[in-house]
Amino acid sequence: MALEDLMMLLNEKRYVEWKERIKELQIPDIAEFIDELDTKHAIIAFRLLPKEIAADVFSYLSSERQSEISMLVDEKELTEIMDDLFFDDKIDFLEEMPANVVKRILRNVSEAERRLINHFLTYPDNSAGSLMTIEFVDLKKEMTVGNALEKIRRIGRDREIVYTCYVTDAKRKLEGIVSLKDLVLASPDEKVEDIMRKEVIYVDTYDDQEDVADIFKKYDFLALPVVDQEQRLVGIITIDDIVDVIEQENTEDFQRIAAIQPSEIEYLEATPLVLARQRIVWLMILMISATVSGYIIRRFQVAIEAVVALTAFIPMLMDTGGNAGSQSSVTVIRSLALGELKLTDILKVIRKELQISILVGLGLTLVNFIRVYFIEGYDISIAFTISLTLFLTVIFAKLIGGTLPMVAKKVGLDPAIMASPLISTIVDAVSLIIYFSLAVKILHIAV
């Protein structure tokens, strides 16, 4: 069904029909529709939503729209939305809202919930605690399967994922997990204790979200329990949030590789000043580092003055070296991120990059020699100088590109820092030294 029809119904105030049609849409599509309306119509549309889906739609709206709606609805409506939100969505929402909205909301919740919210807001960004929700189903091991299913029927409607249930003792310590599938497949008289799995993988509230995502990827979980320092079950993390974490971590790596300070702000939503600040730091560092290449060129000024033709090949040598190095560094950075490569594999990487760079270097050098000597008709000694420089540069670039990310990880830095731009700067300097040193020797330039 076309969104234009929905638009039209809203404009013509045909609200009964609109309410009928909206039922055919999925929640995220309704949110997308409301996000694209102007403020006035958005509020009307939001108020027309059936009560049972309003909070769900709200959790999918953009932060801006959420903030507008929170300011414009009355306190009763706001309390209703807040009550129906899943706890993790509520925390996500509060984290994004301006102080006045947060204040308005906290005024309308119970003292106990206010304390819980404040506690959740203190978990560091990117920690397991900041990702978890408190709506899980907890069972006791003495329960029968029948009792357990009854409890799920009673409380399951408000729980985010009931497909995994958690078995806790009197002190809320995690004792086991049991899936809804196992409960349904078991006979009603069996004890939960007898069908639960006791070897449970869990994380701590302060564990990093990247490690949490790795666990999900390895074990194909749908949900993962989170415990506090006293091993008490305090929440669960669900796979849908982990999908977002994976994309966020990938975005960070893309940003680091492109010499941008990582940030979660969306491009179109960020101001130019924020984006400029994100970008200028590394540009400045790299610009200043590039002076080294300048010094090398000045050091060999005599050689250049003797054979000015040498200058024409500087861009090709620098670019090829940079590209060869960035291929290796990005490959290694990615393999480390995916866990396909361990730090102990460094000798294998050196060996492999050496083999690859000899193969690639020979190919490039051959084509380059043909071009410089046969096609462009340069002197053979110049063609030889350039080709040899190219070959050595490719080998150096691939070795440094393959190993530096591993060294960075070894000393506790993010390997992605050792990506293309930094590698290029190093390779530039080295390729110029190789180039001019060879030129001086081979072309017998007196320096």
Residues 232-291 that bind a copy of itself (CB under 8 A): 239-240, 242-244, 246-247, 250-251, 253-255, 257-260, 266-268, 272-273, 275-276, 279-280, 282-284, 286-288, 290-291
Choose, by CB under 8 A, the member of 193, 371, 388, 443 that binds a copy of itself. Answer: 371
Angstrom distance (rounded) from CA 311 to CA 318: 11
418 binds a copy of itself (CB under 8 A): no
Smallest gap from residue 114 Cβ to a copy of itself (A) = 28
Number of residues that bind a copy of itself (CB under 8 A): 110
Choose, by CB under 8 A, the member of 18, 46, 58, 216 that binds a copy of itself. Answer: 216
Smallest gap from residue 283 Cβ to a copy of itself (A) = 6
Angstrom distance (rounded) from CA 317 to CA 342: 32
211 binds a copy of itself (CB under 8 A): no
Smallest gap from residue 29 Cβ to a copy of itself (A) = 8
Complex with a copy of itself: residue 170 or 308, whichever CB lies closer: 308
57 binds a copy of itself (CB under 8 A): no
Angstrom distance (rounded) from CA 292 to CA 75: 63
363 binds a copy of itself (CB under 8 A): yes
Smallest gap from residue 118 Cβ to a copy of itself (A) = 27
Choose, by CB under 8 A, the member of 17, 80, 96, 345 that binds a copy of itself. Answer: 345
370 binds a copy of itself (CB under 8 A): no
Choose, by CB under 8 A, the member of 100, 355, 381, 447 that binds a copy of itself. Answer: 355
447 binds a copy of itself (CB under 8 A): no
Q: For the chain, percent helix, then strand, then coil, each to nearest 5?
A: 70, 10, 25
C-beta contacts of 51-57 below 8 A and 24+ residues apart:
51/80, 53/27, 54/80, 54/81, 54/84, 55/80, 55/81, 55/82, 55/83, 55/84, 55/85, 56/27, 56/84, 57/27, 57/30, 57/31
229 binds a copy of itself (CB under 8 A): no
Q: What are 407's two structure tokens?
A: 């060294």
Smallest gap from residue 404 Cβ to a copy of itself (A) = 14
Window 315-334: residues binding a copy of itself (CB under 8 A): 315-316, 318-320, 322-324, 326-327, 329-334
> Residue 200 in contact with residue 168, Cβ under 8 Å?
no
What angle, rounded to 10 degrees, do the helices at 39-48 and 3-11 form? 100
Q: Which amino acid is at 432?
A: L
Choose, by CB under 8 A, the member of 352, 414, 437, 445 that binds a copy of itself. Answer: 352
127 binds a copy of itself (CB under 8 A): no
Choose, by CB under 8 A, the member of 85, 234, 356, 382 that binds a copy of itself. Answer: 356
152 binds a copy of itself (CB under 8 A): yes
Complex with a copy of itself: residue 25 or 445, whichever CB lies closer: 25
Q: What are 168's two structure tokens?
A: 């806790």
Which residues, in sequence order, are bridge partners of residue 237? 224
What residue spans of 220-267 are helical by DSSP H? 239-257
What count of other Cβ atoms lies within 10 Å of the Cβ of residue 207?
18
DSSP 3-state of 423? helix
Complex with a copy of itself: residue 65 or 101, whichever CB lies closer: 65
Q: What are 58's two structure tokens?
A: 């709200």
Choose, by CB under 8 A, the member of 112, 219, 230, 412 that binds a copy of itself. Answer: 219
Choose, by CB under 8 A, the member of 107, 232, 348, 441 that binds a copy of itself. Answer: 348
Window 373-402: residues binding a copy of itself (CB under 8 A): 394
Residue 278 neighbours by CB under 8 Å, 6+ apart = 255, 260, 261, 263, 270
Q: What are 361's two structure tokens?
A: 């270097």
> Residue 22 in contact with residue 34, Cβ under 8 Å?
no
Sequence-ordered strand ranges (E) for 223-316: 223-227, 233-238
> Would you say the C-alpha torsion 148, 149, 153, 159 has a positive or negative sign?
positive
83 binds a copy of itself (CB under 8 A): no
Residue 210 neighbours by CB under 8 Å, 6+ apart = 126, 245, 249
189 binds a copy of itself (CB under 8 A): no
Complex with a copy of itself: residue 43 or 202, whichever CB lies closer: 202
Choose, by CB under 8 A, the member of 4, 125, 189, 220 that binds a copy of itself. Answer: 220
117 binds a copy of itself (CB under 8 A): no
Choose, by CB under 8 A, the member of 6, 54, 91, 162 that binds a copy of itself. Answer: 162
Complex with a copy of itself: residue 5 or 24, whichever CB lies closer: 24
Q: Which amino acid is at 104?
A: R
Whole-angstrom CA distances from 59 to 25, 31, 46, 54, 127 are: 16, 8, 12, 9, 21
Angstrom distance (rounded) from CA 259 to CA 27: 37
Smallest gap from residue 447 Cβ to a copy of itself (A) = 14
Q: Lay out the sheet containing 138-139: strands in order across.
A: 138-139, 164-168, 174-179
